[in-house]
Each structure stands twice: as structure tokens, then as C-alpha cells.
Amino acid sequence: MGARAAKHLPPFCTQRIHISTIRVSEEVKERLRDLKRDDESFNDLLERLSRTEKDVERIAESLPPVDDEDIERMDEARDRLNESLEERR
């Protein structure tokens, strides 16, 4: 298909996706595979792991405010989890 024919295609047909190859050791690849969620591609994994603090702040700002009762429930849940982990040692 020549450049002339491409002019008549919808924009989504003419956009190109750039794909890069990243070389990693087998050990790193295994660690990444362990971190990857079942429904996640390696690209999605790397995007998730490379989020910046500003991304996290933006997400946090969209959440409803946390009150004292919420904090108390979170503290209690953390304490139960810590106790459970201690019992397993």
C-alpha cells in the first residue's frame, strides 16, 4: 500500500507503535515474572513498577477522605496481620 492509499485510511490504521527490546538476565526475568500478575503483560508490569510518586499522589487524591474510625480499623487490621505473621515464625 503506497503513501497515496494511506491518506484515505482512518487515523488508527496509520499510527505506528514503537516496540523496544530490553535485555535482562535470566535471574531478573524470573523475578519480573514472579511480580507479574496473571492478567498483566510485561509492559503493564513495567508501567506499574515505574509509577512515580506524583502518580500515586494523583490516585490518592481521587480517593474519599479517611477519618479517625478508618485509621483505627486499619491499625487493628495491621496489628492482626502482624500477630498472624509472628505466630507463623
| 83 pLDDT more than 70 | yes
| 47 pLDDT more than 80 | yes
Would you place residue 44 in the very low, low, confident or very high pLDDT band (cuts 50, 70, 90)?
very high
Q: From the centroid of its chain, how far is CA 33?
A: 13
| Separation CA 26–CA 43 (nearest Å) | 17
Using only C-alpha atoms, the chain has a radius of gyration, in whole angstroms, of 23
Mean pLDDT within 52-74: 89
pTM: 0.44
Summary mean pLDDT of the chain: 85
| 3 pLDDT more than 60 | no
Mean pLDDT within 72-79: 96
| Separation CA 16–CA 21 (nearest Å) | 16
Q: How far is CA 82 from CA 49, 71, 88, 89, in A?
A: 26, 16, 10, 11
